[in-house]
Structure 1
Amino acid sequence: MEGIIIKCCSHLQEARTVSGIYHLITGKKSIQTVQDAHSYRLDQFFGIYKSLPKQDFDNIIAELISHEYLIVRGESFVIPTTAGEKWLDQNRTDLPFEYFNGLKYIETGITYSQRLLLLIQTLTNIKMNNYSFIPIIDKSSITTWVRTLYHTRIDNKNEWSHRIYEELYTLLNQLTDLEAGLFVDRLTGFQRVGMSSHQLATKYNLDVHNVYIHLVGIVHRLLDTINSDKSKFYVMSLLLEDMTDNVFITNSAKETYHLLNQNLSIYEIAAYRKLKVNTIYDHVIEIALNDEHFPKHNYVNEDEEQDIINAIKQTNSFKLKDIKHIIDANISYFQIRLVIAMAKLSIKTGEEYEEKQST
């Protein structure tokens, strides 16, 4: 957890307050937070700890400051110290940042985990003719899904149990012994209750927050592997059936998108929907963040786009006011936001980067 926070602070510097980091890690569904995740190349950490209490987050920040890994700037900005950057580098092998794919798996990861846990519990109990066990997951959508799968797809319990074992064995072999142990020890089966986060923390000498983060990262890593070769992981890919990767777009933005596709202008849509123009601007940014083929040049021409990109590189910042200050006065804040939403730029280098494919 500490490493993720330091890395977020390193990318954001003084562009966002410490609250902005908390919103990113807990997956606040606001345009600003999602755009920050994209712009500052922190989308992998978006929503990886939705249930993190604010007080616990503040305590971790305070501890990192006390160890002089972070330093406070102004009233609410925190940035890494040289010692913090050095600690991050020295502990890099123990911080599998590449496992996380938060913006993509913010919902899928949770559903997949719950389905798998309950399916394993169901098969191991029924195999021993125990039909009265208490489900480890009591969420109706999950219990209904597993029950339906069992009655419609599972014709041979022994074969399915063996298949799950083989697929998990293959998947877990790509992990460290610690990671595989954490994953296996939380599984519940016949007359075996999976360990709680506190029990795992005690066994593996970790704090509870790092147990949670490890498990999220493991699941994201497994999902990437499964999605890369679904034919190799028949059962695991079935658990993803009817699920799609997360797309952050509200129903209201979808309606705006529908009207845009009918060639209505932003002002016409605002009038038709009786909404403020700025609200429609927000919708367009939502759409652009999720559609790499969005026709941005309908709203910002190539010269204006290049002017904005040059300003980003010159200021080494995504702050709208900093960019606006040095570009053509006729370029609007909306146009700046649109370019930021769609440009693949690294704030740390000012160069274009290739979007990661599997992390």
Structure 2
Amino acid sequence: MRFDEVVLAIMKAVDGQRTVSSPYHLIKGKKSGQTIQDIGYFGLHPYFAVLPKLDKQDYLASIGRLEAQGLLLPDEHAIRLGRAASGLDIPPTPLNGWKYRGNESRFFARLSLVLQTMSNFMQDHKRFDPVVTDETVQAWTKAYLNRIDFRSAAIQGALKSQIETSLALAKISENHKDILVKRLSGFGVGGLTWDQLAMEHSVMPIDVKIAAVETLHAWLDVLEGMEYPLLSGMLEGIIQQSALTESAKRTRNLSERGFSLGQIAGLRQLKTSTIEDHFVEMAMNDPAFSAAPFMDRQLIESIHQTSEELKSMRLRDIKERLPEASYFQIRLALAMKGAGK
């Protein structure tokens, strides 16, 4: 999947209902209430936080290309797709941004430093410039290496075998795997830059970045489901154990203890609107969530029906039809609708 296809996939889901900047915030992983609720409303889980360091100019360049191809119509207020976009198929992708939330880069940083260290020590070269400068990753890697006795030839061979075997099972093209592997460094060998990889594969640098993330997500899916002890050890803190953000989990814990929305806002010293965002997030992701404290089932069904009649999930449109419903109630009901409740 190329970067323009990622942008277009998001735009096709929200056509006419969000501004042109909304995919940018989603791809970067902005944890605003609007972005998080859009994930549930429009089923955009794959694309969340897939490029946390996305440069705005790269995004605007993509917008320009989509407009030049007639796939996107210029509009300051909302995404408007061209006629050509409706019949354009978006290729399938292993992206699972909501699950990994940018943590795949931390896994790859650990792996890169582990392999670089092993490679250099195998050549009795104990002084080298680490390919990863993040001190947190360096400290984690040092502890991991000592834990596995990385100087052992048996351990080195086992890690190589586990990498080859598990990566071969990842459901992604060989070109994708090639991009990821060539980012790795070892003794006397430096990983290729994004520009070098883009030139080698005749694509743009932003496309090889997306390809690397796709490969990591496909690979992590293999590692999570099978037993590769040396690689599994690198997954610590990488895979989200809860679909909720940390802040929403704290709000849920207080709610389960019987505190009201207003009380939670006071206890946490947060705006009421922020706590409302957390309840919307719970409605999207928590199978046990109940909206009973906030509205009855009849109002929920009325909101769902109105949304379907209008073919819109825009809050203002629904509010005009159902003035008795608050914006929070509408957001909550739509979140439940997106979750199939």
TM-score by length of 2: 0.90
The residue type paired with residue 148 of structure 2 is R
Deviation of 1:65 (Å): 0.6
Q: Identify the residue that residue 49 of structure 1 maps to in structure 2.
A: 51
Whether contact under 8 Å (2:19, 2:79) holds in the other structure is yes
Residue identity in the other structure for 1:118: L
Q: Does 1:260 align with 2:255?
A: yes
Aligned mates of 2:22, 2:150 — CA distance in 1: 50
In structure 2, C-alpha distance between the alignment counterparts of 1:272 and 1:114, rounded to whole Å? 38
Q: CA RMSD in A?
A: 2.3
Letter in 1 for 2:84: A
Q: CA, structure 1 residues 154+79, in 2 after alignment: closer, same or farther (shift >3 Å)?
A: farther
Q: Which runs of 4+ in 1 moved over 4 A?
A: 270-276
Q: Distance in 1 between matches of 2:31 and 2:12?
A: 22
CA spacing shift, 1:303–1:153, aligned 2, 3 Å: same
Q: 1:178 to 1:120 in 2, by over 3 A?
A: same
Equivalent position to 1:211, from 208, 212, 224 = 208
> CA separation in 2, counterparts of 1:196 and 1:268?
51
Find the counterpart in structure 1 of residue 325 from structure 2.
331
C-alpha separation in 1, matches of 2:68 and 2:234: 44
Unpaired stretches in structure 2, ≥5 consecutive residues: none
For residues 251 and 43 of structure 2, the distance between their equivalents in structure 1, rounded to whole angstroms, comes to 27
Partner of 1:349: none
CA distance in 2, matches of 1:61, 1:140: 36
Partner of 2:194: 197
Structure 1 residues 283 and 6 mapped into 2: Cα distance closer, same or farther (>3 Å)? closer
Post-superposition shift, 1:254? Answer: 4.7
- Relative distance call for 1:11 and 1:124 in structure 2 (3 A) is same
Query: Could you say which residue in structure 2 is the equivalent of 1:153?
Result: 148
- 3-state SS of paired residue (1:297): coil
Q: Which runs of 5+ in 1 are unaligned?
A: 346-351, 354-359
* CA drift at 1:218: 0.7
Q: Deviations over 1:285-343 (max 9, x none)?
A: 2443443322322323222221121122112211111122233x432221111122233
Alignment: residue pair count: 336
Following the alignment from structure 1 to structure 2, what is the Cα–Cα distance between the partners of residues 330 and 296? Answer: 16
| Alignment match of 2:279 (pick from 284, 288, 293) | 284
List aligned pairs for 1:307-346, cutoff 5 A.
307-327=302-322, 329-344=323-338
Q: Deviations over 1:23-54 (max 9, x none)?
A: 11111110111111221111110111121211
SS in 1 for 2:188: coil
Q: Measure, in 2, the Cα distance between the counterparts of 1:107 and 1:48.
A: 6
**How far 1:155 moved relative to its partner?**
5.7
Return 282-291 or 53-62, whichever deviates more. Answer: 282-291
Q: Among residues 24, 27, 30, which one is paired with 2:26 in the alignment? A: 24
**C-alpha distance 273-8 of structure 1, shift in aligned 2 (>3 A):** closer
Q: Percent identity at matched positions?
A: 29
Q: Is 1:123–1:157's contact at 8 Å kept on the other side of the alignment?
A: no
Q: Secondary structure at the match of 2:74?
A: strand
Shift of residue 213, structure 1, vs aligned partner: 0.6
Q: Quick check: 2:113–2:131 contact (8 Å CA) kept in 1?
A: yes
Distance 1:322 1:118 in 2: 52
TM normalised by structure 1 equals: 0.86
TM-superposed CA distance for 1:151, in Å, is: 1.0
How far residue 278 of structure 1 moved from its aligned partner, in angstroms, is 3.4
